[in-house]
Amino acid sequence: MTSRRVLYRGAEAEIQLTDHMERPAVQKKRIKKTYRIKQIDDRLIAARTKEEAKLIAEARMHGVSVPIIYDIDIEQGIITMEYLNGKRVKDIFNSLTQEGRRKLCEHIGESIARLHNHDIIHGDITTSNMILLDDRVHFIDFGLGEKNGELEAKGVDLHVLMEAIASTHSRYACCFNYVLDGYKNELHDDAAAVVKKIEEIVKRGRYR
């Protein structure tokens, strides 16, 4: 590994540009948080690194676009993976045509359904965690993900995206319905039950 450049410093991890076997790669390194005690920090970093790598590998097996994993170091909290030189969906979402946005949302919904078909919960589906590259939406940051087959988990997973679109792209909040269209097309189980769950989760929030 030669030169390193910090591509992005998120809340939880630092993404560094590096190379792996002469290929451009990124390293996601979870930053130790001194605000929390070591017991909690170590537990979270190890568990999230391990879980994230597992989920990314599994998502790829089921046909969802994700970066290829090259290497992991659980104790140090480092995942080395393929560098996706694309655009964050967050940055392009508002500037698309309405038709483009509809197609993109349907595509996102289909991918989420493929994850959910195999009980993969992303845990943080926001437009910042999607990278558009070669006309495909790649999902990154499975750091809060888990394997969970419950309706509740799937509902919450989609609800996070619904809120993210409503807060970050408030003018296009209704586009979440296109996400649901794509989701319905691809989901093996009955999508109506998941949609009902989302409605229930919305009502559960404070003052709804």
Partner 1 sequence: MVTTTFLLYVSFLPACSMICLGIEGTAHSIGIGIIDDQQGTCTIRSNLIKIYRPEKGGIHPREAANHHALHLADILKASLQQAKVRSSEIDLIAFSRGPGLGPCLRTAATAARALSLSLEKPLIGVNHCVAHLEIGRGTIPECTDPVLLYTSGANTQVIAFAEGRYRVFGETLDIGIGNCLDKFGRSQDMEFPCGPKIEQLARQGTQYFDLPYSIKGMDVAFSGLLTAAEHYARQKRRIEDICYSIQETAFAALTEVTERAMAHTEKHEVLLGGGVASNARLQGMVETMATERGARFFVPAKNLCVDNGAMIAWLGVLMHKSGVRMSIKESIIDQRFRTDMVEVTWRD
CB of 140 to partner 1, least distance (A): 14
Residue 22 sits at φ, ψ, to 5 deg, of 65, 15
Distance CA 81, CA 66 (A): 10
Q: Write out the catalytic residue numbers.
A: 124
Distance CA 26, CA 14 (A): 10
Residue closer to partner 1 (CB basis): 5 or 206: 206
**Per-residue contact flags (x/-) with partner 1 for residues 122 to 141, judged by CB under 8 A:** -xxxx-x-------------
Q: Are 18 and 83 spatial neighbours (Cβ–Cβ below 8 Å)?
A: no
Which of 184, 183, 162, 157 lies closest to 173 in space, CA to CA? 162
Show the tokens assigned to 179. Answer: 């996400």
CB of 23 to partner 1, least distance (A): 28
Helix boundaries (H) for 79-168: 89-92, 98-117, 151-168
Which of 2, 34, 95, 97 binds partner 1 (CB under 8 A)? It is 34
115 belongs to the binding site for partner 1 (CB under 8 A) = no
CB of 70 to partner 1, least distance (A): 25
117 belongs to the binding site for partner 1 (CB under 8 A) = no
Return residues touching partner 1 (CB under 8 A): 9-12, 33-37, 39-40, 43-44, 123-126, 128, 144, 156, 160, 163-164, 167-168, 170-171, 201, 204-208
